[in-house]
Structure 1
Amino acid sequence: MSETQNWVAMGYIKGAFGVKGWLKIQPSTEYTDSLLDYPEWRLVKGKDVQIAEIEAGKAVGGELQVKFSHINDRDAAALMRGYTIEVPRESFAETEEDEFYWTDLVGMQVVNRDGVALGEVVKLMETGAHDVLVVRGEYGEKLIPFVSHFIDDVNQETRTITADWGLDY
């Protein structure tokens, strides 16, 4: 794995599970077991960075239980608590037209149809019915439903989202 890759945080290690080196993982993916699609993870905690190879894993409820090939007991597993799990953005599956990964939308600038800058996408929220952009800028925080009724265009080259959204909304 090259150092120039664009790494994306996809969850964190909650702690040890059992006595054979298994770990409890809190994924930040749409599907609990999506992280198992990546055979290697980069683990980051402060300045400590390591690559971990997945030996086995399973989804249990909203949690992931994983065994790394280099960790074989509870003590070693306990030391992994608090590490952020990252995977290379380049290994994500291609999206369909008008589909986007949340990580690609965060940081984009949002402008309305009048060309007024509403701010930057700081995160997304899942509401059940649809996803919502959380946009912060000089006009405060705006919650904009990420649906075609309000979103006119997502330009990945210019990192700009055009929305049908007034300043007084």
Structure 2
Amino acid sequence: MTQTSQETVLGRITSVFGVKGWLKVYSYTDPREGILSYRNWTLVQDGQRISARLEDGRRQGQGIVVKLKGIDDRDLARSYCGAEVRVATAELPELPSGEYYWYQLEGLEVVTVSGDCLGTVSHLMETGSNDVLVVQGGPGSVDQRERLIPYLPEQVVQDVDLAGGRMIVDWDPEF
């Protein structure tokens, strides 16, 4: 999930589904069908922003299919393929203490328990066993390397300070 100042990307329209304007959506939410909880979407494609209203949606196999208001045929639906699905960040539910949305972690400075700066969180990746922080080195970091650090709270990730813009990790800078 990435974020602008007031919106969060929750998914991407991947293809059409059927002939009545339904669309397949790749959802970044967990669980996948969580994207269906949001009715007001902003679709962003090629720099254009389009307001959309979710009319219906369901799980279909491993994915999600949706029907957006006003999109009633396959040809019109096809024009939305590739669009990002964004919602207002204010609509996201508050998480329990110690849990974070990916967009909150992106941009945090990553520092080891010994004080070495490794860079900033560029983005996160979902893997089979745990999420992975992609940390990009930059000015002030020990080097310019990109690092993949497992997001394992209390094991690797020792502290997340959103207000201070910093994450403390138990990680060897040489790795």
The normalised TM-score by structure 2 is 0.87
Return the alpha-carbon distance in structure 1 between the equivalents of residues 145 and 5 of structure 2: 33
Query: Which of 129, 142, 149 is equivalent to 2:147?
Result: 142
Return the alpha-carbon distance in structure 2 between the equivalents of residues 42 and 144 of structure 1: 32
Q: CA deviation at 1:160?
A: 0.5
Aligned identity (percent) is 37
Q: CA deviation at 1:141?
A: 2.0
Return the alpha-carbon distance in structure 2 between the equivalents of residues 75 and 126 of structure 1: 33
Aligned length, in residue pairs: 166
Structure 2 gaps of 5+ residues are 138-142
* Matching residue of 1:8: 8
Question: Which residues in structure 2 correspond to 1:77-156 (within 5 Å)?
Answer: 77-137=77-137, 138-147=143-152, 148-156=154-162
Is the 8 Å Cα contact of residues 10 and 85 (structure 1) preserved in structure 2?
Answer: yes
SS at structure 1 position matched to 2:76: helix
Superposed CA deviations along residues 26-54 of structure 1, whole A, max 9, x for unmatched, are 11222221110101110011232111111
Q: Which amino acid aligns with 1:31?
A: P
Question: After the TM superposition, which segments of 4 or more aligned residues of structure 1 sit over 6 Å from their partners?
Answer: none
Q: Does 1:159 find its partner at 2:136?
A: no
Is the 8 Å Cα contact of residues 125 and 134 (structure 1) preserved in structure 2?
Answer: yes
Q: Which amino acid aligns with 1:21?
A: G
Q: CA deviation at 1:139?
A: 4.5
Q: CA deviation at 1:120?
A: 0.9
SS at structure 1 position matched to 2:146: strand
Return the alpha-carbon distance in structure 2 between the equivalents of residues 45 and 146 of structure 1: 30
Q: Which amino acid aligns with 1:140?
A: R
Q: CA deviation at 1:73?
A: 1.3
Q: Which amino acid aligns with 1:146?
A: Y
Structure 1 gaps of 5+ residues are none
